[in-house]
């Protein structure tokens, strides 16, 4: 049986489904409103009570569904950050995180099961890549976060498990639905990548093709000020010189008009010295960008240490003095395995 997931379908798509079953077009709009109402906890088609019983039964019998993911575990940190462990239909595990503030609810989403990039500071890469996620599986993470936190998601970051640029089509299909169906503007979406050769230009080209424009934020996980240091942290960096990443980012800014963010994970004694701040300033000067300095989330399997707050502030001051826009990103959910991949790893070790 060909299972059909309705999540990510447009109003028009769902109206056509209704018409195909001899129903009025407005029945499709009822399905649409039911799917994207965060207050609705039901995920089964046979529980869409506004639809006639026989229509629901036919949809279900013919393999239509809304959700593929299955709830496995939730961890709520003291600061309100919620991490969810979800299972796919082929019994793989993925993570997503809801990060609340008074005015926002940011959903941190995974784009793949596992990750092939093997970054040395990350728990996700320890077991490699299992597969990429479909758009419906990406979008389902938002529904789970909204249902569990009883709030509408306002911002999206693709900073969970996986390398989004190795799943570009499904990533962009999901962003299209995030814009159109979840009513979250592209400007509130961030796509984070370790950087893959030739894929930054492909991302902007495909964005114009699939989305009609490119207004989300591109965030590069740089984490180093020179090629040698970057290769020790990110093994895949051997294929992509840091100076070429910067050149490709400059082209991205020119093509899209959007500034690029650079994520810089502060690792004690590795990349947090003032000489690194000076080097980073030279690398990025004269370029429309922003640097996010990030405190490291300690994980058991890795020897990296968190840099001191004093070092972090000195590093930030040096960048500011050199004319680089920079901010400190506060770590969230430290007490509940919130670092990427930790919850999945913990569940596998049980």
Q: Do residue 140 and residue 43 come from a single domain?
A: no
Q: Is 95 a catalytic residue?
A: yes
Number of domains composing the chain: 2
| For residues 321-330, average pLDDT | 92
Q: Do residue 81 and residue 107 come from a single domain?
A: yes
Q: Do residue 213 and residue 284 come from a single domain?
A: yes
| For residues 121-137, average pLDDT | 88
pLDDT in tens, 175-208: 999 999 999 999 999 999 999 999 999 999 999 9
Q: What percent of the chain is predicted at pLDDT more than 90?
A: 81
Q: Do residue 99 and residue 45 come from a single domain?
A: no
pLDDT at 304: 86
Q: How many CB atoms lie within 10 A of CB 334?
A: 17
The pTM of this model reads 0.92
Specify the CATH number for the domain of residue 247.
Answer: 3.20.20.70
Of 119, 122, 249, 340, which residue is the catalytic one? 340
Q: Are 62 and 41 in contact (CB under 8 A)?
A: no
Look up the domain containing 202 and give its range: 70-349
Of 15, 68, 95, 137, which residue is the catalytic one? 95
Q: Do residue 120 and residue 91 come from a single domain?
A: yes
Q: Do residue 146 and residue 290 come from a single domain?
A: yes
Q: Do residue 148 and residue 261 come from a single domain?
A: yes
**Helix spans in the chain (H):** 11-20, 25-35, 53-61, 135-149, 168-180, 199-210, 227-233, 242-256, 274-284, 309-321, 342-349
pLDDT at 83: 97
What is the average pLDDT score of the chain?
92
Res. 123: pLDDT tops 80: no
pLDDT in tens, 229-239: 999 999 999 99
Q: Do residue 45 and residue 138 come from a single domain?
A: no
Q: Do residue 268 and residue 339 come from a single domain?
A: yes
Specify the CATH number for the domain of residue 59.
Answer: 1.10.150.530
pLDDT in tens, 200-235: 999 999 999 999 999 999 999 999 999 999 999 999
pLDDT class of 1 with cuts at 50, 70, 90: very low
Q: Do residue 293 and residue 332 come from a single domain?
A: yes
Which of 48, 65, 82 terminates a domain? The answer is 65
Which of 22, 48, 65 terminates a domain? The answer is 65
Q: Do residue 60 and residue 156 come from a single domain?
A: no
Q: Do residue 154 and residue 55 come from a single domain?
A: no
pLDDT at 339: 54
pLDDT class of 124 with cuts at 50, 70, 90: confident
Residues ≥6 apart with Cβ < 8 Å to 269: 305, 307
Which of 49, 65, 81 terminates a domain? The answer is 65
pLDDT in tens, 283-325: 999 889 999 999 887 776 667 888 988 999 999 999 999 999 9
């Amino acid at each position: 049986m060909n299972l059909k997931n309705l999540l990510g379908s447009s109003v028009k798509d769902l109206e056509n489904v209704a018409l195909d079953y001899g129903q009025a077009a407005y029945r499709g709009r009822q399905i649409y409103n039911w799917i994207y109402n965060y207050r609705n906890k039901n995920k089964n088609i046979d529980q869409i009570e506004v639809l006639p019983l026989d229509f629901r039964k036919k949809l279900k019998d013919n393999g239509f569904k809304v959700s593929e993911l299955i709830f496995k575990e939730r961890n709520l940190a003291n600061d309100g950050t919620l991490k969810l462990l979800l299972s796919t239909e082929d019994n793989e595990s993925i993570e997503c995180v809801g990060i609340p503030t008074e005015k926002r609810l940011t959903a941190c989403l995974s784009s793949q099961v596992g990750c092939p990039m093997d970054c040395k500071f990350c728990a996700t890469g320890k077991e490699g890549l299992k597969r990429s996620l479909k758009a419906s599986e990406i979008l389902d993470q938002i529904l789970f976060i909204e249902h569990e936190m009883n709030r509408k998601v306002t911002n999206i970051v693709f900073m969970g498990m996986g390398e989004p640029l190795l799943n570009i089509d499904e990533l962009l299909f999901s962003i299209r639905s995030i814009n159109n169906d979840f009513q979250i503007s592209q400007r509130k979406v961030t796509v984070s990548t370790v950087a893959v050769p030739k894929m930054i230009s492909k991302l902007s080209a495909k964005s114009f093709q699939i989305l009609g424009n490119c207004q989300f934020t591109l965030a590069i996980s740089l984490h180093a000020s020179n090629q040698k240091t970057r290769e020790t942290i990110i093994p895949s960096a051997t294929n992509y010189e840091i100076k070429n990443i910067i050149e490709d980012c400059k082209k991205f800014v020119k093509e899209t008009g959007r500034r690029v963010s650079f994520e810089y994970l502060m690792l004690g004694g590795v990349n947090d010295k003032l000489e690194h701040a000076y080097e980073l300033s030279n690398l990025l000067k004269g370029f429309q960008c922003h640097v996010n300095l990030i405190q490291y989330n300690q994980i058991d399997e890795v020897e990296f240490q968190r840099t001191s707050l004093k070092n972090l502030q000195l590093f930030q001051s040096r960048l500011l003095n050199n004319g680089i826009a920079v901010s400190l990103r506060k770590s969230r959910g430290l007490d509940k395995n919130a670092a990427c991949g930790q919850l999945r790893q913990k569940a596998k070790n049980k």
